[in-house]
Amino acid sequence: MAGIEHRQVDHDEAGMRLDRWFKVHYPGLGFGQLQKLLRSGQVRVDGGRAKTDMRVQPGQTVRIPPMNVDAKETKSGPIGGRDLKHSPDGELLSRMLLHEDDKVFVLNKPAGIAVQGGSGVTRHIDKMLEAWTSPKGEKPRLVHRLDRDTSGVLVIARTRGAAQKLTAAFRERDTKKTYWAIVKGVPRKRDDKVSTWLVKEQTPDGDRMRIARHGEDGADHAVSYYRVVEQAGQNFAWLEMEPYTGRTHQLRVHAAHIGHPILGDPKYFDDDTNWTFPGGIQNRLHLHARHIDIPHPSGGRLRVTAPLPQHMVQTWNVFGFDQRAAEGDE
């Protein structure tokens, strides 16, 4: 950077910690470097000295001294496959951010990125969260998971205490998670409960869940609820789904079990030689964690809604579905 620069805080950066603001705009600047610049007064906010945990507000001016790192303009818009591979961790997480407070982050996880590491996984949310380690050395913690190909609401605890309370809320089922899905065909019952036993089995294509018998070794009880929001003729339906239990692939297996697999599901959508994938729609999993209602660690309830990913927006447009049709339940 050639000289001193003054940058204004954007409207959508309200309440962001100053160290995170720098991580977004100057990902190459280390935390130690930033602390030195703050202690020496070279970085200032509205002309005054500042600390790393200061919360910036729209319209404030940040004084940027000459630094040996390049500014990085924060991208906006949908997160694509190239972003998932190449964008810096802090920048990518910032683009996913739906909600932030002292105890909790809520992300809109894109489809295609794993939440945790595993065989063949090169990048995952849990590892990326190291970029948001606090000045006290505390890394944000996962408290639940989403499948790699499922998009939507993902709750992250910022502290150990918050993680304990949020984990307890999931364990005690004091949460309401709402998913949107597009399925093949239209269920005969407009709303129903699906109750089965599920067991994990290994296949050449990786782990897969299957319907099990009651009492079968390793089987877990799984309960889901669904309702039909809209339909496209008799060919497709938009389902609002709620998992009462939290088993692996639960909603995907239950949709297939009732004879209406989720569109684009690579594991549970069985090919039919008499069926052709519809034109104008991407062959990707159409399952999105739309909304969560969960007790906040500090009291009260936290309610967050995640916008649909681009491939599902495209499908809604093709079928002429109106997202407002389900708004009354969020």
pLDDT per position as a tens digit, 254-270: 999 999 999 999 999 98
Say how far apart CA 37 and CA 43 lie, in whole Å. Answer: 6
Residues 135, 57 share a domain: no
Read off the pLDDT of each residue in 185-189 and give the average, rounded to a whole number: 96
Residues 85, 52 share a domain: no
Give 94 or 30, the one with higher predicted confidence: 94
C-alpha 257: how far from chain center: 26
Give 120 or 101, the one with higher predicted confidence: 101
Of 172, 193, 210, which residue constitutes the final position of a domain? 172
pLDDT for 330 equals 53
Say how far apart CA 296 and CA 300 lie, in whole Å. Answer: 6
With respect to residue 148, please indicate whether it lies within any of the assigned structural domains: yes
Percentage of the chain lying above the pLDDT 90 cut:
60
Residues 94, 59 share a domain: no
Of 130, 149, 172, which residue constitutes the final position of a domain? 172
C-alpha 90: how far from chain center: 15
Q: Supply φ then ψ for residue 16, to 5 degrees.
A: -75, 140
Give 30 or 283, the one with higher predicted confidence: 283
Residue 90 belongs to what domain range?
A: 81-172
pLDDT reading at 124 higher than 50: yes
Q: Which of 46-55, 65-74, 240-249 has the highest mean pLDDT?
A: 240-249
- pTM recorded for the entire structure: 0.76
With respect to residue 256, please indicate whether it lies within any of the assigned structural domains: yes
| Mean per-residue pLDDT over the chain, rounded | 89
Residues 184, 168 share a domain: no
Give 42 or 79, the one with higher predicted confidence: 42
pLDDT band at 5 (very low <50, low <70, confident <90, very high): confident
Residues 228 and 190 sit within 8 Å (Cβ to Cβ): yes
Count up the domains in the chain and report the number.
3
Q: Which of 12, 53, 147, 192 is catalytic?
A: 147
Residues 217, 168 share a domain: no
pLDDT for 2 equals 45
Q: How many CA atoms lie within 13 Å of 93's alpha carbon, on the beta-carbon side?
A: 27
pLDDT band at 202 (very low <50, low <70, confident <90, very high): confident
Out of 16-20, 147-151, 283-287, least confident range: 16-20
Establish whether 147 is a catalytic residue. Answer: yes
Of 130, 153, 172, which residue constitutes the final position of a domain? 172
In order of 31, 68, 129, 138, 171, the CA distances from 157 in angstroms are 21, 33, 11, 11, 15
Residues 300, 201 share a domain: yes
pLDDT reading at 84 higher than 50: yes
With respect to residue 230, please indicate whether it lies within any of the assigned structural domains: yes
Say how far apart CA 17 and CA 54 lie, in whole Å. Answer: 5
Residues 6+ apart with CB under 8 A from 53: 17, 18, 19, 135
With respect to residue 74, please indicate whether it lies within any of the assigned structural domains: no
Residues 230, 289 share a domain: yes
pLDDT band at 141 (very low <50, low <70, confident <90, very high): very high
Out of 98-102, 243-247, 305-309, least confident range: 98-102
With respect to residue 269, please indicate whether it lies within any of the assigned structural domains: yes
Give 69 or 208, the one with higher predicted confidence: 208
| CA angle in degrees (0–180, nearest 5) for 204-209-215 | 125
Read off the pLDDT of each residue in 18-33 and give the average, rounded to a whole number: 82
Q: For residue 104, what is the domain's CATH number?
A: 3.30.2350.10
pLDDT band at 75 (very low <50, low <70, confident <90, very high): low
In order of 84, 130, 288, the CA distances from 124 in angstroms are 10, 11, 18
pLDDT reading at 187 higher than 60: yes
Read off the pLDDT of each residue in 232-245 and give the average, rounded to a whole number: 96
Residues 245, 194 share a domain: yes
C-alpha 14: how far from chain center: 21
With respect to residue 244, please indicate whether it lies within any of the assigned structural domains: yes
Say how far apart CA 308 and CA 46 lie, in whole Å. Answer: 37
Give 166 or 16, the one with higher predicted confidence: 166
Q: How many CB atoms lie within 10 A of CB 116?
A: 12
pLDDT band at 118 (very low <50, low <70, confident <90, very high): confident
pLDDT reading at 1 higher than 50: no
Q: Supply φ then ψ for residue 325, to 5 degrees.
A: -60, -25
With respect to residue 329, please indicate whether it lies within any of the assigned structural domains: no
Residues 95, 224 share a domain: no
pLDDT band at 329 (very low <50, low <70, confident <90, very high): low
pLDDT reading at 285 higher than 50: yes
Residues 315, 191 share a domain: yes
With respect to residue 110, please indicate whether it lies within any of the assigned structural domains: yes
Q: For residue 38, what is the domain's CATH number?
A: 3.10.290.10
Residues 120, 225 share a domain: no
pLDDT for 328 equals 56
Residues 311, 201 share a domain: yes
